[in-house]
Structure 1
Amino acid sequence: MAKLQYQCTMSLDGFIAGPGGDMSWLAAHLGPDPTAERIMRQTGALLVGRRTFGGDDPYKGTEHEGEPYGGGWDGPQFVLTHHVPDAPVPGVTFVTDLDSAVTAAKAAAGHRNVGVLGAQVAAQCLRAGLLDEIYVSVVPVLLGDGTRLFDHPGGTRIRLEQLELTQTPGAATFVFRVLR
C-alpha cells in the first residue's frame, strides 16, 4: 500500500522556500545524493500543492526546468487546486478535493510511495490524518523568511518517530514516521 510522504529540502532555520516562494537558494545545494535518489525510486506518484506546481523552480534556466526533481523522476502528478486550468497539462491531473487527490495518487503509485510536495498540501494531509512520513533534507543555509516546513498558527504538536538519518557533505537527511 502506498504511503504519503512529505518530501522537501529545508534551510537550517526551517524554511522550504524563501520569501515569495523563491527557490533559487536551493540550486547551490543540488547534487548527487544517494538518499534522495533512493526516495525518488520509491516514489510512484506526486501529490502537489497548486502554489508549488506553478511556483518558482530551482532548475530555472537549465535543461531540466519544470521537471519534477530536476528530471530525476518521472510519473503521474496530482495537483490539488481550487481552480482547474482550462488547458490540460501532460502527465498532470488537477483535483479539487484532498480525499480524491490522495485516492488517485495512491492508486497511481501502486506499491510505491506518494511524494507530497508543498507545505499547505502537507499540512492538509497532516490535519486529515493521512500523512505517513516526512522526508526532509536539511541544508546549511539560513533564509530568515519564507514558507516554513510546517506552520500552524496557535501551535499544535505532531509526534514523529525518527526512522533514518543520513549525512552527505552538504546535508543531513531525515525520514520520520508520523505518529497517530
Structure 2
Amino acid sequence: MGTMLYSATMSLDGFIAGPGGDMSWLTEHLGPNPTIDELIGDIGALLVGNRTFGGDDPHQGDQEKEGEPFGGGWSGPQFVVTHRPPAAPVPGVTFMEDLGSAVSAAKAAAGDKYVNILGASIARQCHEAGVLDEVLVCVAPVMLGDGVRLFDHPGGSAVKLERRSVSHVPHAVNIWYRVIR
C-alpha cells in the first residue's frame, strides 16, 4: 500500500506558513521544480488536515489554480481529517473524523503510489501514530520569523531521519528523507 509522505515548502527558519496561516509568502517561490513535478505523478491520494484544507492558498486570485492541489497540477482522492465536516459535499474530498480510518482509506486509494500528507498538525499526528514514512522539504530562501512550524511537538520528540536525496533549483533546495523507526 501507499507510502506516507509529508511534503512542504519551508522557510529557512522552519515555517511552512506565516502568522495566521498566511501562505502569500510562498507565491514567489513556486516555479519549475523537477523533484515536485516528478512527485506529483507518483501521488495516489492526499491526506489533509482541516486547517490546511480550509486555509490560505498561495494561488489566491488565480482562477485556474486557486483551491486546487499543487496549483491544479494534481487531481485525485483527498481525505480530510476533521471533526467539523462541511454541510455540503465537496467533489473528490472525503471528510473523516478518525486519523486511523483516514490513513487506511488514503492508502487503499493510493495503491502503490504515495499518500501525500499536507499540514503540519496532521503530519505530527501521523508521526505519533507510527505511520509517517518519508519527509520532503523544499527549503525556500526566505525567513518568516513566525508562523506555522514544519514540525512542532511541545516538549520535544526526536524524529530520526535518513537523507535520500538533495536537489537544487533556483528558488529552493529539496531535501528528501526516510523516517528511521
> TM-score under structure 1 normalisation?
0.99
Counterpart position of 2:51: 51
Distance 1:150 1:125 in 2: 11
The structural deviation recorded for 1:56 is: 0.1
* Alignment size in residue pairs: 180
Counterpart position of 2:123: 122
Distance 1:94 1:155 in 2: 30
Percent identity of the aligned residues?
Answer: 63
Counterpart position of 2:93: 92
Does the aligned pair in 1 maintain the 2:43–2:113 contact within 8 Å?
A: yes
The structural deviation recorded for 1:95 is: 0.5
Counterpart position of 1:26: 26
Does the aligned pair in 1 maintain the 2:31–2:171 contact within 8 Å?
A: no
Distance 1:71 1:162 in 2: 29
Distance 1:38 1:174 in 2: 14
Distance 1:37 1:58 in 2: 17
The structural deviation recorded for 1:132 is: 0.2
Q: Secondary structure at the match of 2:165?
A: strand
The structural deviation recorded for 1:170 is: 1.3
AA aligned to 2:7 is: Q
Distance 1:86 1:61 in 2: 25
The structural deviation recorded for 1:156 is: 1.2
Residues 42-99 of structure 1, C-alpha deviations (whole Å, 9 max, x = no match): 1110000000000000000002100001001111100000112211000000000000
The answer for unaligned runs of 5 or more in structure 1 is none
The answer for unaligned runs of 5 or more in structure 2 is none
CA RMSD of aligned residues (A): 0.6
Distance 2:106 2:155 in 1: 31
Q: Does 1:140 align with 2:141?
A: yes
Distance 1:143 1:14 in 2: 8
Residues 23-44 of structure 1, C-alpha deviations (whole Å, 9 max, x = no match): 0000000111100011111111
AA aligned to 1:145 is: D
Q: Secondary structure at the match of 1:167?
A: strand
Does the aligned pair in 1 maintain the 2:163–2:177 contact within 8 Å?
A: yes
Q: Secondary structure at the match of 2:125?
A: helix
Counterpart position of 2:132: 131
Distance 1:37 1:169 in 2: 15
Distance 1:112 1:156 in 2: 28
Counterpart position of 1:157: 158
> TM-score under structure 2 normalisation?
0.98
Q: Which runs of 4+ in 1 moved over 6 A?
A: none
Distance 2:79 2:143 in 1: 31
